[in-house]
Amino acid sequence: MQQEIIKIDLGGVNCYLSKVGDSFVLFDTGGHITVDKKFTNRLEELDLQLEKAGCKPGNLRAIILTHGDNDHVANAAFLRRKYQTIIAMHKDDIDLVQNVTLDKMMESFRYSSVVLKLMFVLMKKFITKVTAKAMEDFEKFSPDVILNDGDNLSAYGLDATIIHLPGHTPGSIGILMVEGNLIVGDTLANMKKPVPSPNACDFKQLKSSIKRLKAMKLKTIYPGHGNCFEAVEI
């Protein structure tokens, strides 16, 4: 049965909904972004899009988180309750959702570009303030399922495999569909053109993860930020 990937653009951050028959799996949940003009966790818009797609308790089989950053996980606890489903993620990002601190949330605010480093220094006070506000608004949770490299998602009706892609965060993962389509979280971005994540906890790990992806037979890349693109553009 065909596995459809539905992009949900929440204005600056993407979620993806996989549909197989009448069942769904949600990848990421949106959340706050430090550059937002209006402070919002995007829950209202995401919930509306899920209902429009046909999600309801019983057919949303899982919420799978590509990593633990607030802009991707902020609504997970609410959605788990509403849709009576489970949350799955890699163990290395659990502290970002279960034992979150301001320092932990800001670990990935490291940049390889000199320009971005300078911009962060100039905006650090503002970014820290917004991040602290997002932390106060965040509902902590513990995942129901721990995902590891090589795990398959057949239990949730998907012909797909988990790929551990540390770098942006320690527990970043990709979800590789059997057709070759890859939901990649923030390992790659495409705001203007496809590039490695401009910010990361560990750029050496990020480079290694992208090298691994380049060796795979991939088709379409679905990033956490920006437009989808063909794998040949990595």
Q: Over the stretch 122-133, which tens digit does the pLDDT of each residue have?
A: 999 999 999 999
If you write DSSP's letter for every residue of 43-86 in order, what string do you get?
Answer: HHHHHHHHHHHT--TTTEEEEE-S---HHHHTTHHHHHHHHT--
pLDDT band of residue 2 (cuts 50, 70, 90) is confident
Q: Check: CB of residue 52 under 8 Å from CB of residue 96.
A: no
Give pLDDT tens digits for 175-220: 999 999 999 999 999 999 999 999 999 999 999 999 999 999 999 9
Spell out the CATH class of 4-233.
alpha beta
pLDDT band of residue 119 (cuts 50, 70, 90) is very high
Query: Taking residues 145-151, what's their average pLDDT?
Result: 98
Residue 108 has pLDDT above 90, yes or no: yes
- Bridge partners (DSSP) of residue 18 are 5, 25
Give the CA angle between residues 21, 177, 234 to the nearest 5°: 140
Q: Check: CB of residue 108 under 8 Å from CB of residue 69.
A: yes
Burial of 38 (0-12, 13-18, 19+ CB in 10 A): exposed
Give pLDDT tens digits for 68-81: 999 999 999 999 99
pTM above 0.75, yes or no: yes
Cα separation, 142 vs 93, whole angstroms: 11
Residue 1 has pLDDT above 80, yes or no: no
176: helix, coil or strand? strand
Residue 97 has pLDDT above 90, yes or no: yes
Residue 33 has pLDDT above 70, yes or no: yes
